Structure 1
Amino acid sequence: MVSDATIDPIRDASRRMVRELGFMRPTLAETDMSPSAVHSLIEIGRSGTLQASDLCDLLGLEKSSVSRLVGKLVRTGMLRETADEKDRRAKVLSLTDQGRQTLSRIDDYARRQVHAALSHLPENAHVTVREGLLAYAGALAAARENAPTPAAEDVAIIAGYQPGLIGRVVEMHGRFYARTEGFGAFFEARVAAGLAEFSGRLAAPCNQIWAAMEGGRIAGSIAIDGEDLGENTAHLRWFIMDDALRGKGAGRQLLQKALQFCDDRGFAQTRLWTFRGLDAARRLYEAHGFMLEDEWPGAQWGSEVMEQKFIRKRPV
């Protein structure tokens, strides 16, 4: 049995390391790239070639997140995709010259960072730091691999405001889109402002928000704003899932609750705005009757993306 006297100082040290290493910022290692993009270059550079599925395992990310990440790195000239010699249907990823140059700068920055930190410790403590970090990183990986996966039936969908809901929904958006799209404070602030304004209108019967609760923790959300668009049109907003629940069916439950709400209140149609590349979400939307109406380049979230508008008409 591990005591709190051991656990709490390790948690505190881990939080401090995350902040000192720069993982609270939207970019990492003196680049304009997200932490997941930086780690992708490091892992591919170390291995020579990898498949996207390998990155899923190494980074602990879902397939759709890695697909968007790889696509962005290919478009920016950091990675190239080629057919696998053993399986022509599969693609292997490797660094371009630009990717190798960027990785070299990342490595130089990281080595300087470690050197500067170790210079504040006596030399006989260097081995202790190295062996301790290696052992702890290995233990974290083993715990993740053996952790039980939450099932959709373990998730409760609760309507209405819950304590901590606003902050948690903003946090999930900020962390997910910083990691996958490189969005920063501008995006997170817009989510926070919009959600705060909407929360003041929850008493209106045409508005509602739902939380996916897993073990007493808010792990997902979705909202229907029945006022901002007018013309008997519902606006689907703030649909987000915690990484631990992605692909487990909880997102489908949230969407179904929201659309049933729209149909019960007689909205003629439901609209949502998103952007290209969120493939798993798009498949879920289309499976529930949404159709792409329009797309255009835009930067309303702080970075240029191909914005999209989807519409679902009320079933007859």
Structure 2
Amino acid sequence: MNSLTEARISEIRAFNRFYTKVIGVLQIGMLDSPYSLTEVRVLFELANAEGLVLEAGELRRMLDLDAGYLSRILTRFESDGLLAKERCSTDARKQVVRLTEAGAATFARLDLRQSEQIGALLDGLSEQEQSRLTEGMSSIRTVLDKASSPARVPYVIRPPRTGDLGWVVWRHGTLYGKDYGWGLEFEKLVARIVGEYDPEKDAGWIAEIDGAPVGSVFCMHKDETTAQLRMLLVEPSARGLGLGRRLVEECLRHARESGYKRIMLWTRDSLVSARRIYQAAGFTLDTEEKSVENGVDVVEQVWSRDL
């Protein structure tokens, strides 16, 4: 295990310790109740079940719980009058469970208390801090959900809206500065390109997941016969979904429909993932030249293809 991996593991473990303290997981009962985090989660699933009943085996699979542990939780809920058990009407070998009125009322109180607790947490933060917090949480959820089941992450590709162009400049500057050491001059270059974007003759697309932008590409006018693919970007949290390929396909389709005969792009050889997308889309390398960006050696490349 290298030092970078060890540092990342340490950071994740530190976050886990911090957040479990924030939400009170370490207390005997969640939300000042006699029930643990796992027990409250079981109540949540039962309260939100379709038809308000769940087969016990399905509940165990949903939460990935040990069968004996879940059985003890359900037995406690039944003893407390929160839950009723009965045989499945279509398969007598199976048992279904549902919340009683008392169980539904108990969950409603806990649910309200949790919303109030989170509301109090947000009240102590500025609007910008609240936005950063929720965006970060959304990113964590998206990345980990994608890692467990990539096909379940839906996305949309749409034209740019107000605010998107600023996001494009910000994310290019932030991501390439962090990953490659490119500085303010590169961010200013992206800002100049964005400033040249003319919706009357150019086109752009923003990829979005759960209402948040996660990618971009633009098809811009180079000359009467040539279009230029510009500012392809996919957020790290959204990589592996095929978004880069889809964005490039959208750009190529638009260029053809607009009557261009050729399309070109400028990139750098260090952007390996992007280069693979370009090669798969039929682009070939025309020229390359050594250069320097913020004290970092780079190789500028021009790629193109016929349409």
TM-score of the aligned structures, taking structure 1 as reference length: 0.52
Aligned residue pairs total 187
Indicate conservation of the 8 Å contact 2:143/2:238, yes or no.
no
Q: 2:168: which partner in 1?
A: 169
Once the two structures are superposed, the pairs formed by residues 99-114 of structure 1 within 5 Å of their partners are none
- CA distance in structure 1 between the partners assigned to 2:265 and 2:295 by the alignment: 19
Q: 2:17: which partner in 1?
A: 135
Q: 2:191: which partner in 1?
A: 192
Indicate conservation of the 8 Å contact 1:187/1:302, yes or no.
no
Q: 1:179: which partner in 2?
A: 178
Indicate conservation of the 8 Å contact 1:184/1:302, yes or no.
no
SS of residue paired to 1:223: strand
Moved more, 291-300 or 252-261: 291-300
Correspondent of 1:296 among 289, 295, 301: 289
* Residue 203 (structure 1) aligned with residue 197 (structure 2): no
SS of residue paired to 1:266: coil
Q: Report how far residue 175 of structure 1 moved.
A: 1.6
Q: 2:250: which partner in 1?
A: 257
Indicate conservation of the 8 Å contact 1:290/1:311, yes or no.
yes
TM-score of the aligned structures, taking structure 2 as reference length: 0.53
Amino acid at match of 1:273: W
* Residue 156 (structure 1) aligned with residue 38 (structure 2): no
- CA distance in structure 2 between the partners assigned to 1:239 and 1:218 by the alignment: 13
Q: 1:223: which partner in 2?
A: 218
Indicate conservation of the 8 Å contact 1:172/1:241, yes or no.
no
Moved more, 304-313 or 148-157: 148-157
Q: 1:37: which partner in 2?
A: none
- CA distance in structure 2 between the partners assigned to 1:186 and 1:177 by the alignment: 11
Q: Report how far residue 190 of structure 1 moved.
A: 1.5
Q: 2:43: which partner in 1?
A: none
Structure 1 residues 177 and 137, CA gap change in structure 2 (3 angstroms): farther
Indicate conservation of the 8 Å contact 1:222/1:254, yes or no.
yes
Amino acid at match of 1:194: I
Q: Report how far residue 250 of structure 1 moved.
A: 1.4
- CA distance in structure 1 between the partners assigned to 2:152 and 2:305 by the alignment: 25
Structure 1 residues 134 and 165, CA gap change in structure 2 (3 angstroms): closer
Q: 1:22: which partner in 2?
A: none
* Residue 272 (structure 1) aligned with residue 265 (structure 2): yes
SS of residue paired to 2:204: strand
SS of residue paired to 1:284: helix
Q: Report how far residue 232 of structure 1 moved.
A: 0.7
Q: Report how far residue 138 of structure 1 moved.
A: 8.4
Structure 2: give runs of 5+ residues left out of the alignment: 22-135
Q: Report how far residue 209 of structure 1 moved.
A: 0.5
Once the two structures are superposed, the pairs formed by residues 32-181 of structure 1 within 5 Å of their partners are 44=2, 46=3, 54=5, 135-136=17-18, 147-149=144-146, 151=151, 154-159=154-159, 161-181=160-180
Q: Report how far residue 55 of structure 1 moved.
A: 7.8
- CA distance in structure 2 between the partners assigned to 1:273 and 1:193 by the alignment: 15
Decide which structure has the larger Cα Rg and report it.
Answer: 2
Structure 1: give runs of 5+ residues left out of the alignment: 1-42, 61-130
Amino acid at match of 2:176: Y
Structure 1 residues 145 and 285, CA gap change in structure 2 (3 angstroms): closer
- CA distance in structure 2 between the partners assigned to 1:255 and 1:56 by the alignment: 35
Amino acid at match of 1:157: I
Q: Report how far residue 273 of structure 1 moved.
A: 0.6
> Once the two structures are superposed, what CA deviation does each residue of 1:66-107 show, in whole Å capped at 9, x if it has no partner?
xxxxxxxxxxxxxxxxxxxxxxxxxxxxxxxxxxxxxxxxxx
> Once the two structures are superposed, what CA deviation does each residue of 1:32-85 show, in whole Å capped at 9, x if it has no partner?
xxxxxxxxxxx84x5xxx8xxx5897599xxxxxxxxxxxxxxxxxxxxxxxxx
Amino acid at match of 2:185: F
Q: Report how far residue 146 of structure 1 moved.
A: 8.4
SS of residue paired to 1:203: coil
Q: Report how far residue 218 of structure 1 moved.
A: 1.1
Indicate conservation of the 8 Å contact 1:157/1:213, yes or no.
yes
Structure 1 residues 152 and 248, CA gap change in structure 2 (3 angstroms): farther
Indicate conservation of the 8 Å contact 2:270/2:298, yes or no.
no
Structure 1 residues 290 and 163, CA gap change in structure 2 (3 angstroms): same
Q: Report how far residue 299 of structure 1 moved.
A: 3.0
SS of residue paired to 1:236: strand
Moved more, 169-178 or 293-302: 293-302
- CA distance in structure 1 between the partners assigned to 2:182 and 2:234 by the alignment: 17
